DNA sequence: GAGCACTGC
């Protein structure tokens, strides 16, 4: 490994780390920072007083980079070098270098805030600015004050603005390690096209007709555009004169494609992942037939882990879909935005390539070179495709480029080792790139709902903790933090002064969003924990679970629904429960999943989540339940009398989703989400929620998510009883965000007193049986009136 | 009566 650029900087690095508690290392692509930095510190004795931790934003990265380091150190994984990701801890007492996802480190920090077991913490890939990395940056800043003498923190990334991070850490030093890149020719077009699907089509055909062999990779924003382009490409290729150019193979690649293979869940262990990867030479992974060019039309699915062998040409329209949260309305939307400068093409580093070559040579892998976003290709291309439950589609926002041809077939053809610069066609002018593109993507922390994050920080009990003033590298907006406080208050995680409650503490221990953890705790009280565990686990995997949307031509077939339960019309949560229960009845049968068009990988994931949550809930359960029993008996009730059976579960959901309650309009089936800026929303058409004989939906529902597509929709909806909703309405009425955020004033105290007397009367009124509904209605109207005044 | 990029605990 002596040839790696970073090794030449060893003395400088060690010297700087020795003299400073925090160091920023900007390792350009190809520098080998993720693998070499911890090994350098290990060699220099930094692991003697503790473990060297290296965080990664993704599971695959943690696994693969650690495997490689273990190999370089010539040890078995799990010995001196190990990794820890959710569901899998491959470390032992011997472990000195530990790779872990940043989420895992956050959880460890929950139970051991000083992270005493670590002598060095390396936050790798910080430029990706994942929510978890950003929280860790803030925590490290505090931690370094407590543990000044015995902790070193390194922040490494490819393109992160070093000056900014350095200022954040009181002007800590910034080291820049150069990398070595493969040559790539970048071509900008002179004018931005109006229709980028058409422009991509034109460019792709152009390449196909004029350029020598080599696959083409085209990045589009979503499934719709991909399907469109695939159809058009097929048409166009057909119309080309026979024999005028090589054959074409057109392959779509996006997240809703069914997995190419389905795994036996009982075998899903770490090593199983390895076996899976061997089988992965399918679809885009298999080499093309001779004299054939592949067109891979992809979302940014493989940015970091999926790699494609043989790509020489990349077409980059410069757009991506991004999920955004609006704290005023509580709604998510997916918006097409321009990519940022740090997301455009950079070739894979040479050093990584050489390592990969050594690693893979002689094994039955397609060797792949990734040419990626600034994000890291270099560190990762090796593992590529391993992921626990089959292969995960990921985004290739960077680019995959293959300069060397290494598969056996191609080697036999005598072309091995030939190099050729890749070409990247950017469908935007260089001026647009220079002047218009943001330097970096808006960090996730400024685009997400922060309820979970705020609860996490509150539960750490940091001294002088004022959540509105927590020191983030980039602060989220006040609105977003206030929204989080409001949500936490509604689910009883914090009290009216903003202090964490005992419920809130338990919630923070569950790896779930607050509504779901609150649901579990309430279900425990209402004796329906087993059912709630199932629902919550199903929701955790929901997007990978449902049948993949069929192609346009298959649309009709989709209208005959598979033989799945309908939740008694009470809502999607109940349906999810019933689906899992049926699966359980079949003894977790794979065939059953396939018959019912459910993604096996998703169901297996649900099972793991459920097991993990059961173990955590065991701590809080009321004593009668053993977690084994929870795991094995998802279907507790023997009685099967329909609606009544799920009453407690729905009540628990209502209390858990107190921040996501919606009320139906009087005359139609539109709903108004309560507690947010008033907007009319619809139940998503995919819901199994049923209307009554008059065609009306339930008066109150809780929803899992508000998502704006063509219109605002509630996805995953559950009918709740008006009586359960009433206390929430009352709580909404006395909501005082100013107090929640820690502020107090005389005026607020007065308001507080008035509202709390009101509340007592209100509750008394609601609890008296006579005239209940009209009183609830009155409270509801007052609430709405008040809200419209605002 | 619609259609959703990707991670993570």
**Separation of CA A562 and C1' B8 in angstroms?**
31
Q: A66-75, A180-189, A473-482, A554-563: which has the minimum mean pLDDT?
A: A554-563
Return the top range by mean pLDDT from A408-422, A557-571, A613-627: A613-627
Helices (H), A45-95: 59-73
Measure CA of the first residue to CA of the last residue in chain A; give whole Å.
Answer: 65
- What pLDDT is recorded for position A24? 93
- Checking if the pLDDT of A477 tops 50, the result is yes
The pLDDT value given to residue A283? 37
Model confidence at A537: pLDDT above 90? yes
Does the CB of A319 sit below 7 A from strand B? Answer: no
pLDDT band, very low/low/confident/very high, at A286 (cuts 50, 70, 90): low
pLDDT mean over A463-483:
82
Nucleotide at minimal C1' distance from the A62 CA: B8
Question: Is the C-beta of residue A395 closer than 7 Å to nucleic acid chain B?
Answer: yes
Q: What residue is closest to B2 (Cα–C1')?
A: A685
pLDDT tens digits, one per residue of A385-415? 222 212 222 222 222 222 222 222 232 222 3
Q: Single out the residue of A773, A734, A735 nearest to residue A757, CA to CA.
A: A734
| Nearest residue for B3, CA–C1' | A549
pLDDT at A622: 64
Task: Name residues 48-77 of chain A with a Cβ under 7 Å from nucleic strand B.
Answer: 57-60
Query: Which nucleotide is nearest to A84 if distance is taken from CA to C1'?
Result: B9
> Quick check: A747 and A736 in contact, CB under 8 A?
no
What is the percent of chain A where pLDDT is above 70?
70
How high is the pLDDT of residue A574? 92
What is the CA A369 to C1' B7 distance in angstroms? 22
**Residue A597 above 90 pLDDT?**
no
Closest residue (CA) to C1' of nucleotide B7 is A58
Strand B contact at CB of residue A224, distance < 7 A: yes
Per-residue pLDDT for A19 more than 80? yes
Residue A154 near residue A121, CB atoms below 8 Å: yes
Q: Which nucleotides of B are covered by protein (CB under 7 A)?
A: 1-9
Query: Which of the listed ranges A408-412, A450-454, A779-783 does the model predict with the highest average pLDDT?
Result: A450-454
Q: Which of residues 328-367 of A touch strand B (CB under 7 A)?
A: 334
Q: Per DSSP, which regions of A76-173 are E strands?
A: 81-85, 88-90, 97-101, 118-123, 152-157
**pTM more than 0.75:** yes
**Cβ atoms A38, A54 nearer than 8 A:** yes
* Coil, strand or helix at A426: strand
Stretch A54-81: mean pLDDT? 88
pLDDT at site A160: 65
Question: Which residues in window 717-746 of A are less than 7 A from strand B by Cβ?
Answer: none
Decide: A350 and A180 in contact? Cβ < 8 Å. yes
Least-confidence region, from A174-188, A267-281, A386-400, A743-757: A386-400
Mean predicted confidence (pLDDT) in A701-718: 91
What confidence category does residue A534 fall into, taking pLDDT thresholds of 50, 70 and 90? very high
**Residue-wise pLDDT tens digits, A632-647:** 555 544 445 556 678 9
For chain A residues 98-117, those near strand B by a CB cutoff of 7 A are: 101, 103-104, 106-107
Residue A311 · residue A297 · CB < 8 Å: no
Q: Is the CB of A256 under 7 A from strand B?
A: yes
Above 70 in pLDDT, residue A284?
A: no
Q: In the prediction, which pLDDT does A294 show?
A: 82
Closest among A47, A140, A55, A25 to A97, alpha carbons compared: A47
Q: Is the pLDDT of residue A627 over 60?
A: no
Q: Which nucleotide is nearest to A101 (CA to C1')?
A: B8
Nearest nt to the CA of A543 via C1' is B4
A695 touches strand B (CB under 7 A): no
* Res. A157 pLDDT band, cuts 50 70 90: confident
Query: Do the Cβ atoms of A742 and A464 come closer than 8 Å?
Result: no
Q: How many Å apart are A398 CA and B6 C1'?
A: 13
Among protein residues, the one whose C-alpha sits closest to the C1' atom of B1 is A685
- Give A499's DSSP letter: -
Q: pLDDT tens digits, residue range A85-128?
A: 998 899 999 999 999 999 999 999 998 989 999 999 999 988 88
Average of per-residue pLDDT across A333-346: 70
Q: Which of A59-63, A234-238, A276-280, A633-637 tops mean pLDDT?
A: A234-238
CA-based nearest residue to A446, from A759, A33, A130, A218: A130
Going by the DSSP 8-state scheme, the letter that residue A527 receives in this structure is T
CA of A335 vs C1' of B5, distance in Å? Answer: 9
A130: nt with nearest C1' to CA: B7
Among A307-311, A520-524, A662-666, the least confident range? A307-311
Min mean pLDDT across A206-210, A229-233, A376-380, A490-494 is at A376-380
Give the nucleotide nearest to A510 (CA→C1').
B9
Average pLDDT over residues A515-531: 93
Reported as a pLDDT band with limits 50, 70 and 90, residue A747 is very low
The answer to whether A275 CB sits below 7 Å from nucleic acid chain B is: no
Over residues A327-352, mean pLDDT = 69
Most confident among A98-102, A153-157, A272-276, A777-781 (mean pLDDT): A98-102
Q: State how far the Cα of A677 lies from the Cα of A447, in Å rounded to an integer.
A: 18
Q: What is each CA distance from A541 to A84, A324, A537, A545, A600, in whole angstroms?
A: 21, 20, 7, 6, 11
Report the protein residue whose CA lies nearest the C1' of nucleotide B5: A321
- Kindly provide the b/e burial profile for residues A452-463, where b requires at least 16 CB atoms within 10 angstroms of the residue's own CB: bbbbbbbbbeee
Most confident region among A341-355, A439-453, A509-523, A536-550 by mean pLDDT: A509-523
For residue A646, the number of C-alpha atoms closer than 13 Å in the C-beta half-sphere is: 25
With CA of A322 and C1' of each nucleotide, the nearest comes out as B5
Q: How large is the average pLDDT for residues A189-203? A: 88
In this predicted model, which residue has the larger pLDDT, A143 or A463?
A: A143
Per-chain mean pLDDT for chain A: 75
Q: Which of residues 525-584 of A touch strand B (CB under 7 A)?
A: 540, 543, 549, 555, 558
The answer to whether strand B lies under 7 Å from the CB of residue A595 is no
């Amino acid at each position: 490994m002596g040839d790696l650029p970073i090794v030449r900087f060893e003395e400088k690095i060690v010297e700087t780390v020795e003299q400073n508690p925090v160091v920023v290392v900007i390792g350009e692509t190809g520098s080998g920072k993720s693998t070499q930095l911890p090994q350098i510190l290990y060699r220099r004795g930094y692991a003697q007083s503790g473990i060297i931790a290296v965080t990664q934003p993704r599971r695959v990265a943690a696994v693969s980079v650690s495997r490689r380091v273990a190999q370089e150190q010539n040890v078995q994984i799990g010995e001196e070098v190990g990794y820890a990701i959710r569901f899998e801890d491959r470390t032992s007492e011997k472990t000195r270098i530990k790779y872990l996802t940043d989420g895992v480190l956050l959880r460890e920090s929950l139970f051991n805030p000083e992270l005493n077991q670590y002598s060095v913490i390396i936050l790798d890939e910080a430029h990706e600015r994942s929510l978890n990395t950003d929280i860790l940056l803030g925590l490290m800043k505090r931690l370094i004050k407590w543990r000044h003498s015995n902790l070193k923190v390194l922040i490494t990334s490819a393109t992160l603005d070093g000056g900014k991070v350095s200022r954040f850490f009181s002007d800590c030093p910034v080291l820049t390690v150069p990398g070595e890149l493969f040559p790539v020719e970048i071509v900008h077009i002179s004018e931005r096209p109006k229709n980028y699907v058409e422009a991509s089509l034109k460019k792709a055909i152009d390449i196909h007709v004029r350029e020598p062999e080599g696959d083409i990779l085209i990045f589009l924003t979503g499934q719709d555009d991909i399907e469109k382009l695939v159809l058009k490409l097929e048409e166009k290729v057909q119309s080309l004169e026979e024999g005028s150019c090589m054959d074409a193979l057109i392959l779509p690649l996006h997240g809703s494609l069914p997995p190419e293979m389905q795994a036996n869940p009982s075998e899903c262990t770490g090593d199983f992942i390895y076996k899976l990867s061997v089988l992965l030479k399918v679809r885009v992974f298999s080499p093309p037939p001779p004299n054939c060019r592949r067109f891979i039309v992809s979302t940014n699915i493989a940015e970091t882990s999926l790699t494609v062998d043989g790509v020489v040409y990349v077409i980059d329209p410069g757009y991506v879909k991004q999920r955004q949260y609006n704290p005023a309305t509580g709604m998510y939307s997916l918006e097409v935005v321009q990519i940022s400068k740090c997301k455009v093409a950079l070739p894979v580093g040479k050093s990584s390539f050489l390592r990969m070559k050594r690693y893979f040579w002689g094994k039955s892998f397609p060797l792949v070179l990734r040419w990626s976003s600034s994000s890291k290709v270099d560190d990762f291309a090796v593992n590529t495709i391993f992921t626990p439950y089959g292969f995960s589609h990921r985004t290739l926002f960077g680019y995959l480029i293959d300069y060397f041809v290494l598969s056996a077939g191609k080697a036999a053809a005598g072309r091995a080792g030939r190099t050729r610069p890749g070409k990247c066609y950017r469908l935007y002018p260089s001026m647009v790139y220079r002047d218009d593109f943001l330097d970096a993507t808006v960090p996730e922390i400024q685009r997400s709902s922060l309820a979970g994050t705020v609860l996490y920080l509150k539960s750490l009990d940091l001294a002088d903790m004022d959540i509105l003033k927590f020191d983030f590298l980039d602060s989220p907006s006040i609105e977003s933090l206030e929204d989080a406080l409001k949500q936490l208050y509604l689910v009883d995680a914090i009290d009216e002064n903003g202090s964490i409650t005992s419920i809130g503490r338990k919630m923070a221990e569950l790896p779930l969003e607050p509504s779901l953890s609150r649901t579990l705790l309430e279900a425990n009280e209402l004796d329906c924990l087993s059912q709630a565990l199932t629902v919550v686990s199903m929701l955790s995997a929901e997007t990978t679970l449902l049948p993949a949307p069929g192609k346009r031509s298959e649309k009709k077939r989709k209208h005959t629904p598979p033989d799945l339960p309908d939740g008694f019309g009470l809502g999607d949560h109940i349906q999810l429960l019933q689906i899992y229960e049926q699966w359980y009845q079949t003894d977790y049968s794979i065939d059953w999943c396939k018959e019912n068009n459910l993604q096996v990988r998703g169901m297996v994931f649900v099972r793991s989540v459920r097991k993990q949550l059961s173990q955590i809930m065991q701590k809080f359960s009321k004593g009668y339940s053993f977690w084994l029993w929870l795991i094995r008996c998802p279907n507790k009730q023997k009685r099967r009398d329909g609606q009544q059976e799920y009453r407690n579960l729905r009540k628990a959901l209502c209390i858990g989703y107190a921040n996501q309650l919606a009320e139906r309009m009087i005359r139609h089936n539109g709903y108004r989400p309560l507690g947010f800026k008033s907007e009319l929303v619809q139940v998503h058409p995919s819901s199994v929620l049923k209307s009554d004989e008059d065609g009306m939906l339930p008066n109150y529902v809780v929803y899992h998510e508000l998502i704006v597509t063509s219109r605002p929709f509630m996805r995953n909806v559950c009918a709740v009883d008006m009586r359960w909703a009433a206390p929430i309405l009352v709580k909404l009425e006395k909501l005082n965000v100013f107090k929640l955020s820690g502020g107090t004033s005389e005026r607020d105290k007065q308001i507080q007193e008035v509202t709390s007397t009101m509340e007592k009367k209100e509750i008394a009124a609601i609890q008296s049986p006579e005239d209940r509904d009209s009183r609830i209605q009155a409270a509801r109207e007052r609430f709405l009136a008040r809200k419209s005044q605002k």
